[in-house]
């Protein structure tokens, strides 16, 4: 697990905060936290694209952010649990793991080959 | 009109993603401005689309166009890997993300 992948996952983690913030924030403090989360998540996502393929980074960023948001809405905000949501989250995680496995480092990226 | 806005939002997201690549290649501040403008315009049109379209549908279509388009442009313009396994796993992630947004 190198630092670039950790950046993508932390970026997705902050994406969950700001997506929930946009929906549920009602106080200046919550709005401030939402804005800061947007800046942190985009900064980390953009920087991860320096060493990893941007298409991969963005798909994982969006995917993990979505899965995290759906999970948080069910766990903390009373959204109904549906089995289909769980199945889709598992498919998504499998895809992310697959991408992690087949994605090479910068040298591989520049030659246009993976793993 | 809402659907036109939604498609424009997706296209601007594609531009935003592609500008990340451009910026890493040339490190020019103009590229960074395009990056911000791309994502900014994308959110703006998404907001307009969501005034009439259901939120789940709008998010799903927006993600689908932006992330898959961004990945395709990365392969076409910046030589990102076209390994079938990479394409397969990106498709898997986006399929699940679109599904989750559509139903929620």
pTM here?
Answer: 0.91
Average pLDDT over residues B26-44: 96
Q: What ipTM does the predicted assembly reach?
A: 0.94
Q: Residue window 61-100, chain A: list those with CB within 8 Å of chain B.
A: 62-63, 66-67, 70, 73, 79, 82, 84-85, 88-89, 91-92, 94-96, 98-99
Do the chains contact at A79 and B104, CB–CB below 8 Å? yes
The model's pLDDT over A56-85, given as tens digits with 9 standing for 90+, comes to: 999 999 999 999 999 999 999 999 999 999
* Cβ-Cβ contacts under 8 Å, B33 against chain A: none
- Integer Cα distance of B30 and B18 in angstroms: 14
Contact B81 A63 (CB under 8 A): no
Q: Given phi > 0 = left and psi -120 to 50 = alpha, else beta, which region is B79?
A: left
């Amino acid at each position: 697990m190198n630092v670039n992948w950790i950046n993508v996952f932390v970026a997705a983690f902050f994406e969950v905060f700001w997506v929930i913030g946009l929906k549920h924030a009602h106080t200046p403090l919550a709005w401030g936290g939402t804005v800061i989360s947007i800046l942190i998540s985009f900064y980390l996502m953009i920087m991860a694209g320096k060493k990893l393929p941007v298409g991969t980074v963005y798909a994982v960023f969006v995917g993990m952010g979505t899965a995290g948001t759906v999970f948080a809405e069910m766990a903390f905000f009373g959204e109904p649990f549906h089995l289909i949501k769980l199945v889709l989250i598992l498919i998504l995680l499998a895809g992310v793991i697959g991408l992690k496995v087949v994605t090479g480092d910068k040298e591989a990226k520049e030659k246009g080959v993976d793993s | 009109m809402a659907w036109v806005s939604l498609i424009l939002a997706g296209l601007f997201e594609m531009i935003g993603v592609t500008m990340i690549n451009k910026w890493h290649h040339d490190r020019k501040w103009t590229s960074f401005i395009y990056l911000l403008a791309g994502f900014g315009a994308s959110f703006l049109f998404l907001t307009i689309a969501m005034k009439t379209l259901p939120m789940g549908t709008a998010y799903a279509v927006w993600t689908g166009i932006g992330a898959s388009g961004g990945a395709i442009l990365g392969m076409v313009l910046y030589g990102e890997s076209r390994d079938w396994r990479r394409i397969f796993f990106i498709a898997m992630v986006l399929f699940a993300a679109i599904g989750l947004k559509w139903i929620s």
